[in-house]
Structure 1
Amino acid sequence: MFRSSRSAFSISSRAQTQAKVRVSQPSFARPSTFISYPNSSRSISSTRSAASPRQPDTNWRAMAETDISKYLRQTHERVFECNRTWAAEQKAKNPDFFALLSEGQNPEYLWIGCSDSRIPAEQITGLEAGDVFVHRNIANLVCNTDLNVMSVITYAVQHLKVKHIVVCGHYGCGGVKAAMTPKDMGILNPWLRNIRDVYRLHENELDAIPDEDTRYERLVELNVIEQCRNVMKTASVQQSYAENRFPIVHAWVFGFRDGLLKDLKFDHEKVLKEIQKVYNLTG
């Protein structure tokens, strides 16, 4: 989760120890670059999409200051180049696209996901602009003391009338991994404690898993399920469901190995009945 994908870029060379680059004209869908990294035997010739695999780290210490500045400028400018291309493509497909978009939003989904840069909600689900209302944070947590996520849920349910609320985690989550690490994480401690509490709630099940990686992946799943429970503890969700029979809450996990979403089969109605023994806010 804390690792980020690197955008395609170009930098100039001032010495043999600096990067040598041959750059083609950028395009939105597939900018193509040839990159040699300083002090590294690894070279990449790639045609990259927006969700391309992570490239090897650049040795920043071996780069001249002017090269770093140029890299930062080019990665900034590339976003606007991609934006112009995307806007042109949308207009070509539908001349009224932006006129319709400006009239307002009516999304079917609220997506609560991890901030990890490798998991863009719209791209992995095939949804379009206007289809999904998105909230993301470290390890896709839904904490009742977090006014951000509470406000997002309330707005999405009461005003946008979303039909589905998806809590989507992912295997390989750095936040979950950090929570399993017996180490002081500074300002992250209060946030990670929510995940550690999930471990405490399911301690017997998790401790019975001998393989550490399997235990880690199961904690990812259990964390998503517990956050779904937290969503259902909110007044806006309970009241809307009592009146409209929506939204339905879903627990999903994304896998990097195959790029597929896994439905954890969260039983919305069953869990709601269990929760409302203590958290009934429909009165």
Structure 2
Amino acid sequence: MYTKQLENPVLKAGFEKILEGNKQWMKLVAEDTSGRYQQLAKGQSPEILWIGCADSRVPANQITNTLPGEVFVHRNIANMCVHSDMNMLSVLDYAVNVLKVKHVIVAGHYGCGGVAASLSRKQFGIIDNWLCHIKDVYRFHSEEIDAIEDEEKKVNRLVELNVAEQVFNLCTTSIIQNAWKERDDLAVHGVVIDIATGQIVNLDINVTKSEDLGKEVFAYA
């Protein structure tokens, strides 16, 4: 195996900070008397799958005040649920069919850089191909978005609309559709996080069965 010591002092200090943080975490685990961490070492049984943005400011456990083992997490740029994304689909399938989660939450956040970038004509690199999915959401709602003059409000409204669209995309996957044929204890939700306050804004987007989608063509027979 190739090994090499870090020579750059800035990189070394940054990495050592991570390792030092882990020592503090190990101390917390060692001093815990509930037996929780020993139990977690044997397996997990979360009730929540959280599909959120990769933004460093919106960590699922801290925002929901949950402990390790309580939330199964998938994150990407702008909390997208793309039907051809095998990464997302693999996480979803495992969460729904193996872990048997009861809640799938799509969590956007106000001020999302990915959503803001999708409203511009600027090129950012390979991510432009990913942002095209958000541009499609804008295309569906362009009249409403274009009527908003304030740029911050424009972005934040598209954040909300994007969450709604990703919930719909999630619910039309064969994974969710087939799960609903066998279970009545699975719900998909859409929320937005206000980073400034820490609040999870409930958009009242809650889907619990195929009929909620409103279009029969999306419900597998």
The residue identity in structure 1 corresponding to 2:75 is R
Is this contact kept in 2: 1:91–1:97, CA < 8 A? no
| SS of the residue 1:264 aligns to | strand
Cα gap change, 1:69 to 1:78, in 2 (>3 Å): same
Q: CA deviation at 1:73?
A: 1.0
Q: Which residue of 2 aligns with 1:196?
A: 135
CA distance in 1, matches of 2:34, 2:12: 32
Is this contact kept in 2: 1:240–1:246, CA < 8 A? no
Q: Which residue of 2 aligns with 1:91?
A: 30
The residue identity in structure 2 corresponding to 1:264 is L
Q: CA deviation at 1:207?
A: 1.8
CA distance in 2, matches of 1:78, 1:94: 27
Which residue, out of 65, 74, 80, partners 1:141? 80
Q: CA deviation at 1:112?
A: 0.4
CA distance in 1, matches of 2:37, 2:207: 36
The residue identity in structure 2 corresponding to 1:246 is D
Larger radius of gyration: 1
Which residue, out of 196, 200, 216, partners 1:261? 200
- Larger relative helix fraction: 2
Q: Which residue of 2 aligns with 1:153?
A: 92
Which residue, out of 133, 136, 148, partners 1:209? 148
CA distance in 2, matches of 1:233, 1:204: 25
Gaps of 5+ in 2: 1-6
Which residue, out of 243, 265, 274, partners 2:213? 274
| SS of the residue 2:111 aligns to | coil
Q: CA deviation at 1:275?
A: 5.0
CA distance in 2, matches of 1:101, 1:242: 31
CA distance in 2, matches of 1:96, 1:139: 36
The residue identity in structure 2 corresponding to 1:121 is A
Mapping of 1:107-146 within 5 angstroms?
Answer: 107-146=46-85
Q: CA deviation at 1:212?
A: 2.0
The residue identity in structure 1 corresponding to 2:103 is H
The residue identity in structure 2 corresponding to 1:279 is F
Q: Which residue of 1 aligns with 2:109?
A: 170
Cα gap change, 1:234 to 1:246, in 2 (>3 Å): farther
1:9-37 per-position Cα deviation (integer Å, ceiling 9, x unaligned): xxxxxxxxxxxxxxxxxxxxxxxxxxxxx
Runs of 4+ in 1 over 4 A off after TM superposition: 269-272
1:181 has 2:123 as partner: no
| SS of the residue 1:237 aligns to | helix
Is this contact kept in 1: 2:190–2:202, CA < 8 A? yes
1:73 has 2:12 as partner: yes
CA distance in 2, matches of 1:180, 1:69: 39
Is this contact kept in 2: 1:250–1:266, CA < 8 A? yes
CA distance in 1, matches of 2:46, 2:208: 23
| SS of the residue 2:169 aligns to | helix
Is this contact kept in 2: 1:229–1:271, CA < 8 A? no
Is this contact kept in 2: 1:199–1:206, CA < 8 A? yes
CA distance in 2, matches of 1:267, 1:250: 5
Q: CA deviation at 1:246?
A: 2.7
Which residue, out of 29, 41, 48, partners 1:102? 41
With a CA cutoff of 8 Å and minimum separation of 6, indicate the structure with the bigger relative contact order.
Answer: 2
Mapping of 1:240-255 within 5 angstroms?
Answer: 240-255=179-194
Mapping of 1:223-234 within 5 angstroms?
Answer: 223-234=162-173
Q: Taking structure 1 as the reference length, what is the TM-score of the superposition? A: 0.72
CA distance in 2, matches of 1:270, 1:198: 23
